[in-house]
Structure 1
Amino acid sequence: MRRLILEEPISASAIWARRLAVFAIALAAIAVILVRTRAADATAGLSVLGAAIFLACTALLFAGAAAVTIWRLGQRGVGIAVAAVFLAVIVLAYPGFLAVQAVRLPVIKDISTDINDPPAFARSARALRGRNGFIPPEVPPEQRLEQRRAYPTVQPINIDLEPEEVYQLVLRAAAALGWQVVDQIPPGGRAGIGRVDAVDRSIIMGLPDDITVRIRPLAAQTRIDIRSASRAGRHDFGANANRIQRFSQEMQTQLDAR
């Protein structure tokens, strides 16, 4: 006579955890695609991403409940619950990093190497077209003081070259960094000041950030000041300071390659 072997049921919480985690991954991917392809604006994309984060957190709660039922009742579904946790962590990893940055850094989204006289963004017709009509707002002086405390290494660049040579190096550095130059004026005129305006995009969502570089002659050097400002949100999570640091490093690379 055959013996009937009954298998323990699979934890319903584990199944729901995986379903929610898969849905969260799909929503996060949709949010990124919508914003990067310009099919939706940043607000809509971030709203979809917020829903994905909520689902990922809920998936973790269901996975925790599954762990309890599996341990107490001997149900199956350990692998399913672990997969759900893995997928949820993928969705939550970068937002979690940004949350840490938000706590650690001040609420600033406009960084300049010159806090007393920040470079002004170009308002020419060409620059406005490149920025879709957007003009970054000016920053209150108290925010500039917060910047000095938070990012003491954000400083001007002084180079022992003529302004015209430095201007060409700035253009090459911008190209190497993948910036979209929206306006440029070579050094000249009575003050001898040059300028390069550009747009860069964030790595994951492709959100636009605005950049202006001022090239100004000194007695025996040329001074470069750079200003980088994010359009979306109130906090840049350190992105603009990092962009200025990468620009400084790329300028050194361009100097070494001369």
Structure 2
Amino acid sequence: MLRHIPEEPVSNAAVWCRRLAVFALPVAAIAVILARSNAVEPQASLAVLGGAIVVALIALLLFFAACVVIWQEGRRGLGAALGGAFLAALTLSYPAYLAVQAVRLPVLSDVSTDTADPPRFSASRAAVAARAGFTPAGFDADQAERQRDGYPDIEPIVVDLEPDEAYQLVLETAQSRGWRVIDQRPPGGRSGVGHLDFLDRDLVMGFADDIAVRLRPLAGQTRIDVRSASRYGRHDFGANAKRIRQFAEELQAGLNEK
């Protein structure tokens, strides 16, 4: 007579680890889609993303609990637990990157190549409307000091071009980076200063960031100052400094081609 040998029960922690992880990943994706499509306010999409992060963290805790139970009681479910841990880690990868950046970089949301006299954002009706009424505040001494300590490489860009040529190079470089012009004033007048305002978007969430570029004539050269500011949050996780660096590198590459 054949006897049925009952299978070992499955760990409930492993089952729920996978369920929660499977739930968290699409919720995080929905948060990104909502933010990039401007379907809801940024705060709402961040709240959805925050919920996905919490669920993913719970899934990871359940993974460790499942490992303990499986080891001690010999229950099944290791595959489900590992699958859930992988999906949870995938959901948490970008937030974890931001957490690391938040620890290692200064708390700044506004970065400029000129901390003593940063370029001012245009107050024209078109520019204010494009920024949805938002205008970054001015630099204070503490902010300037934190930037100098954290980003000593963010400095004015000086090119061996006349202001008009430099102005065209800035426009071409900004266009290649996908920046949208919202206001512009070519170099001229008594001061010879030129100014441009741009709008760029965050790579992942698509949040709007504002950029101001100022051009000042020098003897046979042009000094270009760039200011990049985030609209949301106190910490930009290094995004604005990175944007200025990349712009300067592309500007130099364009200059070398001339």
Q: Give TM-score scaled by structure 1 length.
A: 0.97
Paired position in structure 1 for 2:158? 158
3-state secondary structure, aligned to 2:145: helix
Paired position in structure 2 for 1:213? 213
Paired position in structure 2 for 1:254? 254
Paired position in structure 2 for 1:61? 61
Q: Percent identity?
A: 56
Give the superposition deviation at 1:256.
Answer: 2.3
Paired position in structure 2 for 1:222? 222
Task: Provide the C-alpha distance between the structure 2 equivalents of 1:4 and 1:102, rounded to a whole number of angstroms.
Answer: 57
Task: Provide the C-alpha distance between the structure 2 equivalents of 1:141 and 1:227, rounded to a whole number of angstroms.
Answer: 16
Task: Provide the C-alpha distance between the structure 2 equivalents of 1:151 and 1:86, rounded to a whole number of angstroms.
Answer: 35
Whether the aligned pair in 1 keeps the contact of 2:27 and 2:52 (CA below 8 Å) is: yes
Task: Provide the C-alpha distance between the structure 2 equivalents of 1:252 and 1:7, rounded to a whole number of angstroms.
Answer: 68
Task: Provide the C-alpha distance between the structure 2 equivalents of 1:7 and 1:151, rounded to a whole number of angstroms.
Answer: 60
What's the CA shift string for 1:121-157, capped at 9, x where partnerless? Answer: 0111121122122211212122111101110000011
Task: Provide the C-alpha distance between the structure 1 equivalents of 2:188 and 2:163, rounded to a whole number of angstroms.
Answer: 9
Paired position in structure 1 for 2:184? 184
Task: Provide the C-alpha distance between the structure 2 equivalents of 1:23 and 1:189, rounded to a whole number of angstroms.
Answer: 60
> In the alignment, residue 226 of structure 1 is paired with which amino acid?
V
Q: How does 1:42-191 map to 2 (within 5 A)?
A: 42-191=42-191
Unaligned runs of 5+ in 2: none
> In the alignment, residue 54 of structure 2 is paired with which amino acid?
F
Q: Give TM-score scaled by structure 2 length.
A: 0.97
> In the alignment, residue 164 of structure 1 is paired with which amino acid?
D
Task: Provide the C-alpha distance between the structure 2 equivalents of 1:147 and 1:257, rounded to a whole number of angstroms.
Answer: 32
Give the superposition deviation at 1:11.
Answer: 1.1
Give the superposition deviation at 1:255.
Answer: 1.2
Task: Provide the C-alpha distance between the structure 2 equivalents of 1:52 and 1:170, rounded to a whole number of angstroms.
Answer: 40
Whether the aligned pair in 1 keeps the contact of 2:119 and 2:225 (CA below 8 Å) is: yes
Once structures 1 and 2 are overlaid, which stretch shifts more, 147-156 or 25-34?
A: 25-34
Paired position in structure 2 for 1:239? 239
Task: Provide the C-alpha distance between the structure 2 equivalents of 1:131 and 1:204, rounded to a whole number of angstroms.
Answer: 19
Paired position in structure 2 for 1:37? 37
> In the alignment, residue 42 of structure 1 is paired with which amino acid?
P
3-state secondary structure, aligned to 2:132: coil
CA RMSD of aligned residues (A): 1.0
Task: Provide the C-alpha distance between the structure 1 equivalents of 2:255 and 2:60, rounded to a whole number of angstroms.
Answer: 50
3-state secondary structure, aligned to 1:232: coil
Whether the aligned pair in 1 keeps the contact of 2:115 and 2:139 (CA below 8 Å) is: no
Task: Provide the C-alpha distance between the structure 1 equivalents of 2:217 and 2:256, rounded to a whole number of angstroms.
Answer: 21
Task: Provide the C-alpha distance between the structure 2 equivalents of 1:9 and 1:257, rounded to a whole number of angstroms.
Answer: 68
Task: Provide the C-alpha distance between the structure 1 equivalents of 2:169 and 2:107, rounded to a whole number of angstroms.
Answer: 32
Instruction: Show structure 1 runs of 4+ deviating over 3 A.
Output: none
What's the CA shift string for 1:167-214, capped at 9, x where partnerless? Answer: 000001101111111111111111001111111111110011100010
Give the superposition deviation at 1:22.
Answer: 1.2
Once structures 1 and 2 are overlaid, which stretch shifts more, 171-180 or 137-146?
A: 137-146
3-state secondary structure, aligned to 1:68: helix
Please say if 1:8 is aligned against 2:5.
no
> In the alignment, residue 88 of structure 1 is paired with which amino acid?
A
Please say if 1:20 is aligned against 2:30.
no
> How many residues matched?
258
Give the superposition deviation at 1:55.
Answer: 0.6
